[in-house]
A and B are shown apart, each in its own frame.
Chain A
Amino acid sequence: MDLIRFYVRKLFTVLKNEVIVLPSRVVVVVFFLFLLLLPVFTNNQYTLRIFTLTCIFAILAASWDLLSGFTGQINFGHALFFGVGAYAAAMSNLHVHLPPWASIPLGGLVAVLAGLIIGIPCLRLRGTYLALTTLAFPIILMGFVFAFPDLTGGELGISGIERIARSRVTNYYIVAGLMFGLCTIMWKITDSNTGIIFHAIREDELAVRASGVNTTRYKLLAFCLSGFFAGIAGGLYAHFMRIAGPSTLEVSMSFLVVIWAVFGGVATIYGPVGAVFILFPLLEFLRFWQEYRTLMFACVLIVILLYMPDGLFPWLRDKIETECPRCKIRNIATRTVCRVCSASLE
């Protein structure tokens, strides 16, 4: 009992000293509680389905940010990892009868392999050349899918895959939990020493090499890590939708990921995740005005990119928080002195 009391007190101390002091952290906690309590407030299967898919795409968008946002290796073919993960999970489940808890990580690992296969030749390229080359890979894979319909299901894809869980609510909780876990891991990676090197590669690759760091190895690592997380998202998608089809490899899927990341703010991880939670449900909501759907979606994008070139979330964060000029700790915008070093914030 004392132990429980100790941990409860510790939790309150952390909430008081670490969370409530910064609006962005409060938003993250509220967002977490919203996801946690969503099934309590709604029994609507359609809403749960939308939010489950949103969580899956949030993992995908964050994985693109890990590669392209942080290391600057612009990947226009991110659907490749997603599709490979989806197909690998579907095939291993249908043909080898692996349960979802094994087939989904397997999808991630196969996507790592795909990352290595495209990473090794592509790393000789930079900028637009790299972007255009990566764009080609999902199209090539789609050709293979159509060429071997016995194995891949051709245009119809592979269907009849096992669900992640029987209940839709359980499905939702598993996917949301994984989204939180995987995005935290990605954020931790970018916050680590490896993340510093990823950042530096984006800034000036030659200077990183002149610092004694093998940039090729790190770029390949970024491809593999990003592939792994996108592959997991693909596996989750296949098991949730119970189908792995060519739509997972479409060019539009690759570009949707880029749009989400740019909208939310690249090189942040939280930006693309937040963007998916705005744009994906928005797109579903706009289904009611089918004729104007794409137009309205485009208008929202243009407005955001015009006025917030760094993305929506970094812009919002800068509005509600200020950085202390002395200790670089963030404070709520209404404060006049830093909460840590007491330096003036005006």
Chain B
Amino acid sequence: MGEAFLEVMGLNKQFGGLKAVNDVNFSVAREEILGLIGPNGAGKTTLVRLITGILKADSGSILFKKREITGKKTWDIVNRGIACTFQNMRPFRRLPIIANVMVSCLSPRAMKRGEWVKRIEAKAMDALEFAGISDMALEDASTLSQGDLKRLEVARAIATEPELLILDEPFGGLSPAETELMAKSIHRLHKGGRFGRLHSEGPAMIIIEHKLQQLMKIADRIIVLNFGTIIADGTPVEIVNNSKVIEAYLGEGEI
């Protein structure tokens, strides 16, 4: 594993009597795709929300590119190079799909990057093209299906050209064929390069997912969370064979 790109140290978050995130420590390398799995209520989304500044941690520290981002505002964290998608999609329903992505293109980070920054619409269109919904660019976001909303979330996130992309259940609500396509897109994005006017830094990724087979294919490393605590950390093969994981998450038997 390379040098730590994102470092989470001793992170804690409590809601009333419930410890949602309990002394979590992990790091992500620059070229890595990290899978984050765990049963429902394990604290995965809370952990992501702490990293992106949507929630404030009770204690602990988060370093991104060796700089402290704990307690920073969400928009500030995004402008430092971390983008995320939401598990429960949050589109701007009464705005056209292209305008949804244009909001991300208007962030200071996105405005600073790219050669054609004045053509915000063109850049937004390229993000939609990448996500595979450019043909519906002028429709209102309220008309999109569940699967297309997931794509819109991804398009919005990549429009800021992030260096760390956090995807919360990107395959949720997608058909097997769509899932396959999305997995390929994620892999292509991770490799980096130029997609029209959009430049992919080849971002490191944290992917929360319940479709384990698909996740195992694209993730380099997997962390398993249960009751807010990391119970396993290793390669997909190690995780599959880890008895704690089988007991807590996968149930008995083999996958």
A residues near B (Cβ < 8 Å) are: 193, 196-197, 199-200, 203-204, 206-215, 327-328
- Closest Cβ–Cβ distance, residue B47 to chain A (whole Å): 16
What is the CA–CA distance of A284 and B163 in the complex, to the nearest angstrom? 62
Q: Give the nearest-CB partner of B120 in chain A.
A: A193
Q: Is the CB of B95 within 8 A of A203?
A: yes
Task: Tell yes or no: B74 within 8 A of A by CB.
Answer: yes
For the complex, is B138 an interface residue (Cβ under 8 Å from A)?
yes
* 5 A-B pairs with least C-beta separation: A212-B107, A212-B78, A203-B92, A207-B90, A211-B104
Q: Which residues of A contact B69 (CB under 8 A)?
A: none
Whether A203 pairs with B94 at a CB distance below 8 angstroms is yes
The 8 A CB mask of B66-86 against A (1 = contact, 0 = none) is: 000000011110110001101
Contact at A204–B90, with CB atoms within 8 Å? yes
Inter-chain CA distance A75–B52, complex, in Å, is: 30
A193–B75 contact, CB under 8 A? no
B56: interface (CB < 8 Å): no
Q: Which of B17-74 contact A (CB under 8 A)?
A: 52, 54, 73-74
Contacts of B84 in A (CB 8 A): 210
Number of A-B contacts (CB under 8 A): 79
Give the secondary structure class of A's interface: helix
Q: In the complex, A213→B78 CA distance in Å? A: 8
Chain B residue numbers with a CB within 8 Å of A200 are: 92, 95, 99-100, 103
B160 & A212 in contact (Cβ 8 Å cutoff): yes
Chain B residues whose CB sits within 8 angstroms of the CB of A214 once the complex forms: 73, 75-76, 108
The CA of A154 and the CA of B90, in the complex, are separated in Å by 50
Nearest to A193 among chain B residues (CB) is B106
Chain A residue numbers with a CB within 8 Å of B90 are 204, 206-207, 210
**In the assembled complex, which residues on chain A have CB atoms less than 8 Å from the CB atom of B203?**
none
Q: Nearest residue in A to B78 (C-beta to C-beta)?
A: A212
When C-beta atoms are compared, the residue in chain A nearest to B141 turns out to be A203
A131 to chain B, nearest CB (A): 21
Chain B residues whose CB sits within 8 angstroms of the CB of A204 once the complex forms: 90-92
- A327 in contact with B103 (CB, 8 Å): no
Q: Known interface pairs A196-B106, A204-B90, A327-B138. Does A211 touch B156 (Cβ–Cβ under 8 Å)?
A: yes
Q: Are B93 and A209 in contact (CB under 8 A)?
A: no
With beta carbons under 8 angstroms apart, the residue of A213, A327, A328 that contacts B75 is: A213
Give the contacting residue for B106; candidates A197, A203, A210, A328; CB below 8 A: A197
Residues 119-167 of B contacting A (Cβ, < 8 Å) = 120, 138, 156, 159-160
Scan residues 162-202 of chain B and give those whose CB is less than 8 A from a CB of chain A. none
Q: Does B210 contact A (CB under 8 A)?
A: no
Which B residues have a C-beta under 8 Å from some C-beta of A?
Answer: 52, 54, 73-76, 78-79, 83-84, 86, 90-96, 99-100, 102-104, 106-110, 120, 138, 156, 159-160
**Judging by beta carbons under 8 Å apart, are A211 and B107 in contact?**
yes
Q: With contacts A210-B52, A211-B78 known, is A328 near B138, CB below 8 A? A: yes
Q: A206-B54, A207-B90 are in contact. Are A213 and B107 (CB under 8 A)?
A: yes
Complex CA distance for A96 and B2, rounded to whole angstroms: 69
- Determine the distance from Cα of A193 to Cα of B95 in the docked complex, in whole angstroms: 13
Q: List 12 A-B contacts (CB under 8 A).
A: A196-B95, A199-B92, A209-B73, A209-B74, A209-B75, A210-B86, A212-B107, A213-B103, A213-B106, A214-B73, A214-B76, A214-B108
* Beta-carbon contact of A212 and B99 below 8 Å: no
Contacts of A327 in B (CB 8 A): 138
User: Do residues A211 and B73 form an inter-chain contact, with CB atoms below 8 A?
Assistant: no
Contacts of B94 in A (CB 8 A): 199, 203
| CB-contact partner of A212 in B75, B93, B96, under 8 A | B75
- Distance in angstroms between the alpha carbons of A207 and B52 in the assembled complex: 12
Would you give the shortest CB distance from B212 to chain A, in whole angstroms? 26
Would you call A212 and B52 a contact (CB within 8 A)?
A: no
CA distance A207 to B94 in the complex (A): 14
Per the bound structure, the CA–CA distance linking A196 and B219 in Å amounts to: 36
Q: Which residue of B lies closest to A212 (CB)?
A: B107
A212/B110 in contact, CB under 8 A: yes
Minimal beta-carbon separation of B93 from chain A (angstroms): 6
Contact of B78 among A193, A196, A197, A210 (CB under 8 A): A210
Instruction: Say yes or no: B54 contacts A196, CB within 8 Å.
Output: no
CB nearest neighbor in B for A329: B138
Residue from the list A207, A212, A215, A328 in contact with B92, Cβ < 8 A: A207
Q: Write the chain B residue with the least CB distance to A199.
A: B95
Cα distance A313–B138 in the bound complex, in angstroms: 23
From A196, A214, A327, name the one whose CB has the most chain B CB atoms within 10 angstroms: A196
Q: What are the residues of chain A within 8 A of B110 when measuring CB–CB?
A: 212
Residue of B nearest to A328 (CB): B138
CA distance A207 to B107 in the complex (A): 12
How close is A196's CB to chain B, nearest CB, in angstroms?
5
Q: Other than the known A200-B100, A211-B104, what 5 A-B pairs have Cβ atoms closer than 8 Å?
A: A193-B120, A199-B92, A207-B86, A211-B78, A214-B75
- Chain A residue numbers with a CB within 8 Å of B54 are 206, 209-210
Q: Which residue of A lies closest to B96 (CB)?
A: A328
Report yes or no: B138 in contact with A196, Cβ–Cβ below 8 A: no
Residues of chain A contacted by B108 (CB below 8 angstroms): 212, 214
Chain B residues contacting A197 (CB-CB under 8 Å) are: 103, 106
Question: Contact: B95 with A210, CB < 8 Å?
Answer: no
Q: In the bound complex, do residue B103 and residue A211 qualify as a contact, i.e. CB atoms below 8 Å apart?
A: yes
- A76 → B minimal CB distance (Å): 23
Chain A residues, Cβ within 8 Å of B107? 211-213
Taking the closest CB of chain B, its distance from the CB of A201, in whole angstroms, is 9
Bound-state Cα–Cα, A200 to B107, Å: 13
CA A210 to CA B160, docked complex, whole Å:
10
Given contacts A210-B54, A328-B138, contact A196 B75 (CB under 8 A): no
